[in-house]
Amino acid sequence: MRFEPGEIGEVLEMLLFRELDIRAVTLSVNTLPAIRPRAADLLSALEEVLEPYLRRLRPAVERVASRLGVRIVTVRLAVSPVSILLEPLGDRDAAVEVARHLDRLAEKYGVDMVGGFSAFVHMGVSRGDRALMEALAEALNSTVRVAGFLNVASTMTGVNLDAVKKAAELVLAMRPHAAARFAVTANLPEDVPFMPGAYHGLGLPDAVVNIAVSGPGVIEAVVRNLPEADVRTLHDAVKRAAFKITRLGELVGREVAKELGVPFGSVDLSVAPSPKVGDSVAAILEAMGLPRVGAPGTIFALALFTDAVKKGGAMAASTIGGLSGAFIPVSEDAVMARAAAEGSLTFDALKAMAAVCNTGIDMAGIPGDASPDAVAALMADVMALAVHLDKPLGVRLVPIPGAKPGDVYDLGGLYGSVSVIDVSRYSRIPLVARGGTAPPGVERLKKG
């Protein structure tokens, strides 16, 4: 097979100068065989189930990265929702122990993060869910690699406002590094490779490899090279670039799966940003022609971008999975963080952006003394969007003690600097105290 020099040059530019890499290889493992009626037995059974996979995971990923010459930034593990493991125990102390055990295992085997310290409570809370929720703040505060979520809403069942309220209280009880590993979610798919949304879905086989791609820098360069192009031409160019980015994820997924001897699951075609310069989704939107992300035109630009990424990525992957939209974390993306610090990106703008992306409000800083009512109400707004637009969305807020809007707090590493945004001018929102579960919308009826 021959390649034109231009074709080779294009790929080299993406890999060498535009920060194109694989954000995460996420091995998803069924840990339900570890269910035991006693906590100590559960911990050892969990290790027994995971050890054969963990032993081979990082070496396999490193072999593939070396063979292809492609950078793979993080290696992750997703486990079955821990709430299910807790059903026979119903014990919050056991839940904390499970989190710490997963944290130790991850460290021992060179796994960057473990996802699945989670529960699905969109229609109510079961015995295991309750134990997990009571343990969540302490579990995440006392670990460094464990991530989790509470799925509090779904198109099929509506929004559990009681669970939203509880999630808001939990977030406000977390340290910044812990809150960065927690999200409240709606309609979460079973094969998310990104944290904190990753868990081993109930419809999956015993183990499966899911891939998260990166590459905003590639698309930003494409957009910058077309300063005169109309939006349809721009859309087409973004689509072509997204195809190539996603293909790299497909290749790495197939190779890692082969290396590990487990099925290849899916590629999440969202191009994940990082705090590095030239690796920002917001920079793409600004390159399209916005003075700052958050300015009028932001939703139009984001919708154009998301649609092009989906259409380009769809053909590149044998199975698309996870969230597969656009990621717009406020930290983890230097240009988003700047816009938030300058005040051009408010929670109202982020809520509107959630309508045309697939993450919702992600990695936004809030003052540590933010009102629980206002935080819960903000979460409820995004959950309502998810249910009525029938899509996955989440809210990941990072409370910063003593901070006020406009402050910046450095979380370090891939998390970057969190900009603190004003939650609301109202601290008391009586609607939240009503509680209960809001029924599903007509989207539910369309499904029969």
Partner 1 sequence: MVSVLGADRVGIVAGIASVLARHNVNIVDISQTVVRDIFSMIMMVDISKADVDIGQLRKELEEEGRRLGVLVAVYHIDVFRYMQRV
Which positions from 92 to 131 touch partner 1 by CB under 8 A, shown as an x/- string?
A: ----------------------------------------
CB of 238 to partner 1, least distance (A): 15
Token pair in block for residue 298: 């932001």
Q: Is 430 in the site for partner 1 (CB under 8 A)?
A: no
- State the DSSP H helix or E strand holding residue 435, giving kind and residue range, or none if neither: none
Four-CA torsion 61, 64, 67, 70, nearest 10 degrees: -80
Q: Is 144 in the site for partner 1 (CB under 8 A)?
A: no
CA–CA distance, 23 with 382 (Å, rounded to integer): 26
State which residue, 55 or 67, has the beta carbon closest to partner 1: 67
CA–CA distance, 269 with 14 (Å, rounded to integer): 16
CB of 346 to partner 1, least distance (A): 38
Biggest distance spanned by C-alpha atoms of the chain: 67
Site for partner 1 in 219-278 (CB under 8 A): 244, 247-248, 250-251
Interface with partner 1 by CB under 8 A: which range of 8-16, 75-83, 110-118, 184-192? 8-16
State which residue, 10 or 236, has the beta carbon closest to partner 1: 10
CB of 271 to partner 1, least distance (A): 14
Query: What b/e string do you get for 103-121 counting C-beta neighbours within 10 Å, with b at 16 or more?
Result: bebbeebebbbbbbbbbbb
Q: Is 23 in the site for partner 1 (CB under 8 A)?
A: no
Q: Where are the beta strands (DSSP E) in 205-255?
A: 207-214
Q: Is 281 in the site for partner 1 (CB under 8 A)?
A: no
State which residue, 114 or 272, has the beta carbon closest to partner 1: 272
- State the DSSP H helix or E strand holding residue 69, giving kind and residue range, or none if neither: none
Are β-strands 72-79 and 119-120 bridged in parallel, bridged antiparallel, or unpaired?
A: unpaired
Q: Is 352 in the site for partner 1 (CB under 8 A)?
A: no
Q: Is 203 in the site for partner 1 (CB under 8 A)?
A: no
CA–CA distance, 211 with 33 (Å, rounded to integer): 24
Task: Tell me if 345 sits within 8 A of 294, measured CB to CB.
Answer: yes
Q: Is 73 in the site for partner 1 (CB under 8 A)?
A: no
CB of 225 to partner 1, least distance (A): 18
Interface with partner 1 by CB under 8 A: which range of 6-14, 156-164, 368-376, 395-403? 6-14
State which residue, 247 or 292, has the beta carbon closest to partner 1: 247
Q: Is 59 in the site for partner 1 (CB under 8 A)?
A: no
State which residue, 247 or 388, has the beta carbon closest to partner 1: 247
* Radius of gyration (C-alpha) of the chain in whole angstroms: 21
Token pair in block for residue 26: 């996420």
Taking the CB of residue 446, how many other CB atoms lie within 10 A of it? 9
CA–CA distance, 420 with 398 (Å, rounded to integer): 8
Q: Is 67 in the site for partner 1 (CB under 8 A)?
A: yes
Please return the burial class of 7, using the count of CB atoms within 10 Å of its CB with bins 0-12, 13-18 and 19+: exposed
Give the total of residues touching partner 1 (CB under 8 A). 23
Backbone angles phi and psi of 269, in degrees to 5: -80, 0
Taking the CB of residue 154, how many other CB atoms lie within 10 A of it? 23
State which residue, 319 or 427, has the beta carbon closest to partner 1: 319
Site for partner 1 in 309-338 (CB under 8 A): 315
Interface with partner 1 by CB under 8 A: which range of 5-13, 44-52, 138-146, 194-202? 5-13
DSSP SS3 for 226: coil
One residue of 8, 40, 202, 431 binding partner 1 per CB under 8 A:
8
Interface contacts to partner 1, rule CB under 8 A: 1-3, 5, 7-8, 10-12, 14-16, 66-70, 244, 247-248, 250-251, 315
